[in-house]
């Protein structure tokens, strides 16, 4: 990964912009507290960074985003560093660089676990990253990782019974567990519970709100796999009304035209 080199005047301007300042030569305003940086909507910026990185075939958008996060409150920045790591790992997978993808997601996992999580959202994201990282595990290691996913998602729900993302992670973990190991039996229930929850448990919270679109996508895939086309189409139509510009859902629509994949 390249390290961005920025000349001092440009760096100064960038820092002032992030802190609510102005260009060199003007009157400097009072600096805003570090946590105000999170008002930049890290979730949306991360999604944008992934799109930019894929288009440019360069990880630089993630480098710049992490630089901005350095100014954020440590307890919240840790969460968002994990979220960024997940998307950067997806980028490297798209570039067929599995080694780098694994390194990035492992770094994200380390940040989320040191120190130990305290909040429901931290446990939900930790479980999500652990679930994503299972593709880099084999045999017993994969089984143990799946058990950790379930444990941490359940911890999130003990702290916040209305956490949409924890229900989604439990559903995903169950969906991808092979049928011969008992997978698929709880997927539908978890997904429907997820859809019944608010995007955020606390009104007006400056926290994550991801998970609903992913829940719709997985629910449609589940019904398609279970050969329940009416339900698959019902929730697909509902998802498209909510997220009309989603490229993921557009691709899912094409998948619905194909026979369901075998489930082992």
Instruction: Spell out the domain ranges in the chain.
Output: 41-115, 148-199+210-263
φ/ψ of residue 231, rounded to 5: -70, -40
Residue 5 has pLDDT above 90, yes or no: no
- Whole-model pTM: value is 0.81
Work out the average pLDDT over 250-258. 90
Residue 166 has pLDDT above 70, yes or no: yes
Highest averaged pLDDT of the listed ranges 70-84, 212-226, 245-259: 212-226
pLDDT value at position 32?
A: 41
pLDDT tens-place string over residues 178-217: 999 899 999 999 999 999 999 997 655 568 999 999 999 9
pLDDT value at position 15?
A: 31
Task: State what percent of residues in the chain have pLDDT above 70.
Answer: 81
pLDDT value at position 37?
A: 45
Task: Give the residue with greater pLDDT, 43 vs 1.
Answer: 43
Rounded distance between C-alpha atoms, residue 210 and residue 203, angstroms: 15
pLDDT tens-place string over residues 64-82: 999 988 877 776 888 999 9
Give, in degrees to the nearest 5, the angle at Cα 155 between 116 and 76. 45
pLDDT value at position 184?
A: 95
pLDDT tens-place string over residues 15-70: 323 333 333 343 333 334 444 444 568 899 999 999 999 999 999 999 999 998 88
Task: Give the residue with greater pLDDT, 252 vs 75.
Answer: 252
Q: Is the omega angle on the peptide bond into residue 177 within 30 degrees of 0, that is, cis?
A: no
Report whether 175 contacts 218 (CB < 8 A): yes
pLDDT value at position 260?
A: 77
CATH topology for 148-199+210-263 is 1.25.40
Q: Where does the pLDDT of residue 12 fall: very low under 50, low under 70, confident under 90, or very high at 90 and above?
A: very low
User: What secondary structure does DSSP assign to the chain, as a single string?
Assistant: -PPP---HHHHHHHHHHHTT---TTSPPPPPPPGGGGGGGTHHHHHHHHHHHHHHHT-SHHHHHHHHHHTTS-HHHHHHHHHHHHHHHHHHHHHTT-HHHHHHHHHHHHHHHHSS---SHHHHHHHHHHHHHHGGG--THHHHHHHHHHHHHHHHHHHH-TT-HHHHHHHHHHHHTS-GGGTTTSSHHHHHHHHHTS-SSSSTT-SS--TTHHHHHHHHHHHHHHTT-HHHHHHHHHHHHHH-TT-HHHHHHHHHTTSPPPP--
Residue with tokens 């990035």: 104
Residue 3 has pLDDT above 60, yes or no: no
Task: Give the residue with greater pLDDT, 91 vs 206.
Answer: 91
């Amino acid at each position: 990964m390249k390290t961005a080199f920025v000349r001092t005047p440009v760096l100064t301007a960038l820092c002032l912009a992030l802190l609510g300042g102005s260009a060199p030569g003007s009157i400097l305003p009072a600096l805003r507290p570090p946590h105000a940086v999170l008002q930049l909507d890290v979730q949306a910026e991360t999604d944008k960074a992934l799109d930019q990185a894929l288009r440019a075939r360069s990880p630089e958008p993630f480098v710049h985003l992490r630089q901005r996060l350095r100014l954020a409150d440590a307890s919240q920045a840790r969460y968002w560093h994990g979220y960024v790591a997940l998307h950067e790992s997806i980028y490297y997978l798209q570039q067929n660089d599995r080694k780098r993808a694994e390194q990035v997601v492992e770094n994200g996992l380390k940040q989320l676990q040191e120190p130990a999580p305290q909040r429901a959202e931290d446990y939900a994201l930790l479980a999500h990253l652990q679930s994503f990282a299972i593709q880099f595990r084999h045999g017993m290691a994969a089984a143990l990782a799946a058990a950790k996913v379930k444990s941490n998602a359940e911890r999130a729900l003990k702290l916040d019974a209305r956490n949409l993302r924890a229900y989604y992670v439990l559903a995903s973990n169950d969906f991808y567990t092979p049928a011969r190991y008992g997978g698929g039996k709880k997927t539908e229930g978890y997904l429907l519970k997820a859809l019944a929850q608010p995007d955020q448990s606390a009104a007006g919270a400056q926290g994550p709100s991801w998970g609903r679109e992913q829940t719709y996508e997985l629910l449609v895939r589940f019904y398609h796999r279970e050969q329940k086309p009416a339900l698959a189409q019902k929730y697909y139509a509902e998802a498209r009304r909510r997220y009309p510009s989603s490229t993921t859902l557009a691709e899912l629509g094409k998948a619905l035209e194909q026979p369901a994949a075998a489930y082992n």
